[in-house]
Amino acid sequence: MHASLSLPLRWSPSSPNHRLLSLSSRHLSYRPVRKTSRSTMVPAMAEPSEAWRWERRHLLLSTMLPSVMRWNSMSAMAVEQEKNGVGGGLKLPEMGTGVWAWGDESIWNYGSEGGASMQSIEEALDVVVRSGLGFLDTAEVYGNGESERLVGALLKRLPVEKRRDVRVATKFYPIVPSTSLPRTSQDLLPALDASLARLDLPYVDLYQIHGPGLQSSGEEIGEALAEAVISGRCKAVGVSNFAFEELLPLYRTLERRGVPLTSNQVEFSLLRRLPETGGLLEECRKLGISILAYSPLGMGRLTGKYGKEKKVPRSRFFGRVSDSKLEGLVARLREVGAAHGGKTPGQVALNWVMCKGAVPIPGCKNARQAQENAGALGWRLSEEEVHRLDLLGQEGSINSWQHDSKVGGRNTVG
């Protein structure tokens, strides 16, 4: 397909329109017709002009596909959509970037002292993209939608060549934001459309259900996720905070529709090893479901910046652990980091997550923090170092939101 055509329409190889689109696209290349019969012989001719080519294409498109194709100038995003193929799955990076702090005031003090600003996150994004951390994870509830809006605004400022290195993931909240009203699977596509509007994007790379609690069956949720991919609204789908038993019905429904369940995003770090010790990581790995690790630094606790003089803010509820246990773990992280040329405690903690086969998505509020995260790439802990850190790591806590702690019927979370 030529770069000045747009395929806006949401379709995939499993779409009923796939055959029509495939056949039509073959007609978009001009081929001079030559017959052997004298009466119909078309003499060899000069290559037709570019204007003729576009007129020919326009005629074919407007005649054959009036209901599914439209003309406009193709944006860089649309070029990427066509090149990668909507619905073709998603290749996850070694590490991504969580952008909860971008626009969130209540937890991360966006726009206030100690929080991020538009300038600081723009500078952070530059480092993120240059460092290969351009997998941005946001959600409709982060900052009541402000995080999505800021991501969309920042992406528009990026040069085309940098924009191509960015992937965007967002999430569907199982409860109507700012209320206690439960949602159903029928709310998923409208919510995704609202997220796309805030992001100002034609599709996202990964769409996730933020947590269990939808008032629908697993099969119904799986069907809604499949439709999100097939309609072209997203390239891949995942879940978050799901127990293995909870994601299985979704996985099987998606499998029948030819759509993989790409990921399960859970809190996983040296301060919360439950997804590993409970068997979730291993069971997901068997099915090809990647683990995305949120709060891989325990909301800053594993960076070493908190201690007796500087306490962790009360709002940082993930990764809670006693001061004594945290001090011992951070001391070991410093020791291991020193053996790797002066790596920081946070960089060692992120590397530990990657050594476990998970994809950490640490946050950053400025360029310095983004650069700090990037320092976890390009090297690996030894098996012995990982084991020594395991011994000091904490199993972590559970709550009614996180159902990811156990598999095989041992989950005690309601």
> Is residue 73 pLDDT above 70, yes or no?
no
117 shares a domain with 57: no
58 shares a domain with 102: no
| Mean pLDDT calculated for residue range 91-104 | 94
- 9 inside domain: no
- 413 inside domain: no
Q: So what's the pLDDT on residue 94?
A: 97
Q: Which residues contact 402 (CB under 8 A, 6 or more apart)?
A: 211, 241, 266, 267, 413
Mean pLDDT estimate for the chain: 79
Domain CATH for 273: 3.20.20.100
- How confident is residue 53, by pLDDT bands cut at 50, 70 and 90? very low
Residue linked to tokens 């001009």: 30
- How confident is residue 313, by pLDDT bands cut at 50, 70 and 90? low
Residue linked to tokens 């940082």: 316
142 shares a domain with 54: no
71 shares a domain with 129: no
| Positions marked catalytic | 142
Q: So what's the pLDDT on residue 245?
A: 93
Question: Could you give the CA distance from residue 101 to residue 362 in angstroms, rounded to a whole number?
Answer: 11
- 64 inside domain: yes
Question: Could you give the CA distance from residue 19 to residue 5 in angstroms, rounded to a whole number?
Answer: 19
- 89 inside domain: no
| Mean pLDDT calculated for residue range 163-180 | 92
| Mean pLDDT calculated for residue range 375-388 | 98
**CA neighbours within 13 Å on the CB side: how many for 238?**
32
What is the total count of domains within the chain? 2
Q: So what's the pLDDT on residue 111?
A: 74
Q: For a pLDDT cut of 90, what percent of the chain falls above it?
A: 61
User: What does DSSP say about strands 204-209 and 167-172: parallel, antiparallel, or unpaired?
Assistant: parallel
- 290 inside domain: yes
- How confident is residue 177, by pLDDT bands cut at 50, 70 and 90? confident
Question: Could you give the CA distance from residue 145 to residue 194 in angstroms, rounded to a whole number?
Answer: 9
Q: So what's the pLDDT on residue 115?
A: 79
147 shares a domain with 49: no
111 shares a domain with 62: no
Residue 121: Cβ within 10 Å count? 25
- 12 inside domain: no
Question: Could you give the CA distance from residue 135 to residue 304 in angstroms, rounded to a whole number?
Answer: 25
Cβ contacts of 172-176, under 8 Å, gap ≥ 24: 172/140, 172/207, 172/208, 172/209, 172/210, 173/139, 173/140, 173/141, 173/210, 173/211, 174/209, 174/210, 174/211, 174/212, 174/213, 174/214, 175/213
174 shares a domain with 51: no
- 139 inside domain: yes
Between 338 and 115, the more confident residue is: 338
363 shares a domain with 230: yes
Q: In sequence order, what DSSP letters do the residues of 282-297 get, joined into one string?
A: HHHHHTTPEEEEESTT
> Is residue 16 pLDDT above 70, yes or no?
no
Helix (H, G, I), strand (E, B) or coil at 374: helix
Question: Could you give the CA distance from residue 313 to residue 79 in angstroms, rounded to a whole number?
Answer: 44
Q: Which segment of 29-33, 247-251, 374-378 scores lowest on mean pLDDT?
A: 29-33
> Is residue 261 pLDDT above 70, yes or no?
yes
Decide: 27 and 59 in contact? Cβ < 8 Å: no
Q: What is the pTM of this model?
A: 0.76
370 shares a domain with 246: yes
Range of the domain at 359: 97-392
53 shares a domain with 103: no
> Is residue 155 pLDDT above 90, yes or no?
yes
| Mean pLDDT calculated for residue range 204-218 | 96
Question: Could you give the CA distance from residue 209 to residue 185 in angstroms, rounded to a whole number?
Answer: 10
236 shares a domain with 187: yes
Q: Record the tokens describing residue 299, joined without a space.
A: 């909301």
- 414 inside domain: no
Question: Could you give the CA distance from residue 123 to residue 150 in angstroms, rounded to a whole number?
Answer: 13
268 shares a domain with 165: yes
